[in-house]
Structure 1
Amino acid sequence: MTRLADLRKSYERAELSEDASHADPLQQFAQWLGEAIAAQVPEPNAMTLATVDSSLRPSTRVVLIKGCDEQGITWFTNHDSRKGRELAANPWAALQFHWVELERVVRIEGRVDKVSDAESDAYFASRPLDSRIGAWASPQSQVIASRAVLVANAARYGARFLLHPPRPPHWGGYRLHPDCWEFWQGRKSRLHDRLRYRLGSDRQWIRERLAP
């Protein structure tokens, strides 16, 4: 059996320089996300969301990005879930994308708020029918007796709403407004490239290199 301490990988695919990167982190992210999609890496839209509860206990989970623009990074979920409760108690969070095949990581930090009801309604209506029923069927993050509870709930709500389930009142979108971005590119000899963008007092982005 291979010892975990003996696992090694040499990162040699690409580099990240100040001259070749965008001055605006949103443009840099859009470029990297586009390259991850073009490279057909598994689930390039998957991101780890880190939140902290009122007792300062952190937790993470993987969610899917559903929007990215000047307003921020958007995803949708159950407001009554653990992450929803934690964001209600502490609206600061961090996101991380890890595109292993490209040897790249993007970290994003900022304040989170809920998107408008209209935006949540529009996205919910675009989801497949089984996903819309699932949003009603799953009491997310709550203890349940067995999977049979979910199956029964799905059947009950399917029969109730048929082809037109409305958006549940406990389900909707969140948007993180970045004030810090970090782009990490793996490099040989562990001399990785790390560029951080932080929002200055004048609301302009400051780009700086961090030691790996």
Structure 2
Amino acid sequence: MAHLARDLDLIACADLIHVDVMDGHFVPNLSYGTAIVKACKGATDIPLDVHLMVSNPDDTIDWYIDAGADLLTVHYEASTHLHRTIAHIKERGCKAGVVLNPATPVFVLEDIIEDVDMVLLMSVNPGFGGQAFIPRTIEKLRQLTALCASHGVAPLIEVDGGVGIANAEGIAAAGATVLVAGSAVFGAKDPAAAVEAIRSAAELGRSRIGA
């Protein structure tokens, strides 16, 4: 944590900085809070994609918007009044997204898909880094892409968990447009090169759509 600004500089080629907020209740782990979001905002010009893995998102979303989040995602499973929550985030001038855990089906988004800027599919059970990608996510991506097409909308489609160079092409080919990579980037000798390699693989996958 003492080298946060340095490590952000290492991935200056990234499109987004994904910040995982964990509360120890919704997920069995604790992680970053508003102080870290503020520190990131002051250390980089890259937009902050803040993922709230918390059991009380309505109580905390304003904290993270005030701290500098550019895009804020909340879990379907934790949101009692999701439409109101998404509307509030957007009213605050922040992009809004919804997250689905691995066991949550895509069809629950039927009545909110037209209101969100992003859908994040968790490809691991949230709470800890370094987990293996859940293969079923590929089919969920196809289902989500079809749902978006049926509503005539094109939110960002993000995948988080077990993403790396080896599977980025297939994930993107199934419909993902944003890939979150933690261990695959910061576990590499050259994080910037890892970002570029993942992006190149994903672009190849996107080029396969409709081919």
If the length of structure 2 is used for normalisation, what is the TM-score? 0.27
If the length of structure 1 is used for normalisation, what is the TM-score? 0.26
Relative to total residues, which structure has the larger strand share, 1 or 2?
Answer: 1
Relative to total residues, which structure has the larger helix share, 1 or 2?
Answer: 2
Structure showing greater relative contact order (alpha-carbon pairs closer than 8 Å, 6 or more residues apart): 1
Higher-Rg member (1/2)? 1
